[in-house]
Structure 1
Amino acid sequence: MTKADPSAMLYLAYQTQADLMAPLRRMAEQVLPGLHHAAGHNPLLRGMAAATEMLARAGLSHGRPPYGITNVTVGNRDVAVTEEPAHVTPFGTLLHFKKDIATEQPRVLVVAPLSGHFATLLRDTVATLLPDHDVFITDWHNARDIPLSAGRFGFEDYVDHLIEFLTVIGPGGHIVAVCQPCVQALTAVSVMAEQGHKAQPRSMTLMAGPIDTRINPTKVNDLAMENPIDWFESRLISVVPPGLPGVGRRVYPGFVQLTAFMSMNMDRHVKAHVELFQHLWQGDFEQAAKTKDFYDEYFAVLDLTAEFYLETVQWVFQEHRLAKGELTYRGKPVNPGLIKRTSLLTVEGERDDICAIGQTMAAHDLCTGLRPYRKRHHMQAGVGHYGVFSGKRWNNQIYPILRNTILASE
């Protein structure tokens, strides 16, 4: 890393600013309880307390938020849930949400996106699955915390992890992939089918994933096609600065992706924070808590390794390798047509502006070896991208279909 390296300077500038702000934010956090206590009905002090809290929150987090799932109702009793690492690599943990019950339940691997946020983005998905299933999740690590000595992590390494995690879970499991990793999940199951792997899953659910982004392209898809891969590498890839465990690693920083996401709806985010200040000033802490919970998750950012990000953009969104039958894994062609034992469910949202209708359903055309009774597609009316795996319609309309798919495959 040198002063002449613009990519290195980008991350260094960000981290320097964050480090300079940290003492001020800590000071605000320390005085906040006293301000709240003294404010009472005094509008001036309440305004000062609200401003102080906004200052304390003025920054990003680079650590995983808690899942916060401590118990779940199984049948008619309340059961404790504990998080236990079932398998750990430098790049991710196979996290088991263990329940203290004697009944054996279908084992499910939830495959979380590796796209700038932590796997906790799927806590609602996990919470809904837990009463009826033995749930594991791909808890990806932040690339800025992974030493260079751990090596690279690209598209094929992601697939390696899915195969390895399914192997640890054991024969008879199920896989549920959400958004971006639907391509890697379909690749992993295809490879396992070709190998006759004992742990190939009994069912595969692909939810709002970019199997073929040539179908109904969205703004996200258009952006990927507008520029060559060199443009993404030169403008979006940076280097982890000194002082962090991953120093020297090339990454797509989470703060860069967050900036891009926010710029698409900046007015909405500004309005949300103005309203948050007003709620705090007016003492409407219940409403303020809802906004804070959302942004605590939204502002917890995760860096991706440069090789994974660039290979995903190029292979999935630009060259459509899997959809066109041109994807290889460790030098061998990937053929979803070899999948014969794994039932397929695809789910899409009517209003999804990230992964449009038809892009996930394309998996059915690729899985030519599956008989019709092993395939099902569901288009959920009235939901956008996040509504496919969280919220009321996920709980009440989508999940029952997924649960039945798993039960029918047992």
Structure 2
Amino acid sequence: MLYNAYELQRTMLNGAAAWASVGAEMLTNPSLPMGYFGMGPQLASALDVFAHATMPRGKPEFDIEQVTVNGKTHDVVESIIMHRPFGNLLRFEHDGLPANAPKLLIVAPMSGHFATLLRGTVARMLESSVVYITDWADAKMVPMNAGQFDLDDYIDYLIEFLRHIGPGTHMLAVCQPSVPAFAAAAVMGKHEDPCRPATLTMMGGPVDTREAPTSVNDVAMNQPLSWFEHNVIATVPLTYPGSGRKVYPGFLQLTGFMAMNLGNHMMSHYGMYKHLVAGDGESAAATKAFYDEYRSVSDLTAEFYLQTVEHVFQRHSLPKGEFVHRGEVIDLGGIRDTALLAVEGEKDDISGIGQTRAALHLAHALPEESKKYYLAEGVGHYGIFNGSKWRTRIAPVLEGWMRQHQKTPLKIVA
């Protein structure tokens, strides 16, 4: 009933959003005088904000058409190089990259948003690297005959993607995927897989949530796993290709994130309203662009979500040496030559300081010179991978770490 109730509400809001958009356009039409007098500008702006906040949103596009390097602009080529039911492997490149440019696999979070949330991450790293990214599918769009997708499958996908890209690849995990990426590196390292990552960078990831727990961790710890299964898992309605699939709906994740900083979100929309009233369309457009991305959400398979809650937030299976992949306990000592970089934000309210840094201690067989920690001062969770501080302060650290541990590829598969 949860998903059906949401769909009913969304249908009603869609109609209201459409009428609000029409009203805003009428009031801002230069050929009509009503928008110039009385409360016309204020009403038009209010309708515009309401329409934008309630309009339906699908999966965004990356739309990275060009990149500028050393003052020269290059056209970017985006391509799907591997297709899987629960996620594609995308590649971004341009003709300004040298033949020996580093290969970087960015592992996007599967936490309710699409991979396009990392558009700024891809664009910045594309200046110096051939960039690959995991483009995870929206679970409600995956038919039931595709099977399930859990943490084991997630790790398998990463290993398969790394093997397809080839030896010498660097891997960057942003937030949630730090755990499965860490596990994948350990599995590949233990078996001396030639395609194991040259470096693994984890940014704002919940590797060990016992360190500096946040409100997100508290929610997971304060309820038994059965509570999550009974209260936040829903069945995809008949209107979607994945009808009948059990999922953790993206709209619930968005609601939770919005509630954490409700005051800030309200002020952002009020600021948008004031910009529109003042005729500052450029500033209003920047806020709209952010929320267009932020409000575009996807569903997670129930099995992946529940296993993440259980093993990452409740049982701490990986740091305790109890995480099992395909029947084999993951030995983090298998990481012997994959250099690790842990990046945390000083003001991160999702993953507390120390949760990602814990990975450096857990990789006990890795030499200390192959470990690095960077604390980004004054940076929140989103700012770790997007925005000016990411571009000017954090990305150069990552690029330097990759250069320092660059390995000559044995072959190029992709």
TM range (shorter): over 0.9
Tell me the TM-score normalized by structure 1. 0.93
1:86 partner SS: strand
Q: Which residue of the partner structure matches residue 4 of structure 1?
A: none
1:126 partner SS: helix
Cα distance, 1:295 vs. partner? 1.1
| Residue from 278, 284, 288 that aligns with 2:284 | 288
Amino acid at match of 2:87: G
Matches within 5 A, 1:131-170: 131-170=127-166
Q: Does the CA-based 8 Å contact 1:62-1:142 persist in structure 2?
A: no
Cα distance, 1:207 vs. partner? 0.7
Q: Which residue of the partner structure matches residue 17 of structure 1?
A: 9
Deviations 1:134-160 (A, max 9, x none): 001111111111111111011111111
Q: Which residue of the partner structure matches residue 45 of structure 2?
A: 50
The range that moved more, 109-118 or 40-49, is 40-49
Q: Does the CA-based 8 Å contact 2:138-2:299 persist in structure 1?
A: yes
Q: Does the CA-based 8 Å contact 1:62-1:302 persist in structure 2?
A: no
Cα distance, 1:178 vs. partner? 0.6
| Residue from 175, 181, 186 that aligns with 1:179 | 175
1:246/1:91 CA distance change after superposition, 3 Å: same
What is the root-mean-square deviation of aligned Cα atoms in Å? 1.7
2:86 is aligned with 1:91: yes
Cα distance, 1:61 vs. partner? 4.1
Q: Does the CA-based 8 Å contact 2:345-2:377 persist in structure 1?
A: yes
Cα distance, 1:254 vs. partner? 0.9
Distance in 1 separating the partners of 2:93 and 2:143: 30
Amino acid at match of 1:10: L
1:46/1:170 CA distance change after superposition, 3 Å: same
Q: Which residue of the partner structure matches residue 3 of structure 1?
A: none
Distance in 2 separating the partners of 1:102 and 1:399: 17
Deviations 1:282-331 (A, max 9, x none): 32212211221121111111111111110001001000000000001000
Distance in 2 separating the partners of 1:353 and 1:76: 36
Q: Which residue of the partner structure matches residue 238 of structure 1?
A: 234
Matches within 5 A, 1:10-409: 10-29=2-21, 32-38=24-30, 41-59=36-54, 61-101=56-96, 103-104=98-99, 105-409=101-405
Q: Does the CA-based 8 Å contact 1:110-1:137 persist in structure 2?
A: yes
Q: Which residue of the partner structure matches residue 5 of structure 1?
A: none
Cα distance, 1:81 vs. partner? 0.8
1:214 partner SS: coil
The range that moved more, 204-213 or 375-384, is 375-384
Cα distance, 1:42 vs. partner? 3.2
2:404 partner SS: helix
Cα distance, 1:54 vs. partner? 2.9
1:214/1:106 CA distance change after superposition, 3 Å: same
Deviations 1:66-92 (A, max 9, x none): 223110123442101122111111111
1:189/1:60 CA distance change after superposition, 3 Å: farther
Distance in 2 separating the partners of 1:144 and 1:156: 20
Count residues in correspondence.
402
Query: Identity of aligned pairs, percent?
Result: 47
Tell me the TM-score normalized by structure 2. 0.93
The range that moved more, 38-47 or 139-148, is 38-47
Q: Does the CA-based 8 Å contact 2:205-2:356 persist in structure 1?
A: yes
1:12/1:319 CA distance change after superposition, 3 Å: same
1:342/1:119 CA distance change after superposition, 3 Å: same
Amino acid at match of 1:72: V
The range that moved more, 95-104 or 395-404, is 95-104
Deviations 1:13-36 (A, max 9, x none): 111222233344335445644432
Distance in 2 separating the partners of 1:185 and 1:403: 19
1:51/1:350 CA distance change after superposition, 3 Å: closer
Amino acid at match of 2:51: A
Q: Does the CA-based 8 Å contact 2:122-2:131 persist in structure 1?
A: yes
Deviations 1:86-139 (A, max 9, x none): 111111111111213462210000011111111111111111111101001111
1:242 partner SS: coil
1:295/1:273 CA distance change after superposition, 3 Å: same
Distance in 2 separating the partners of 1:49 and 1:381: 40
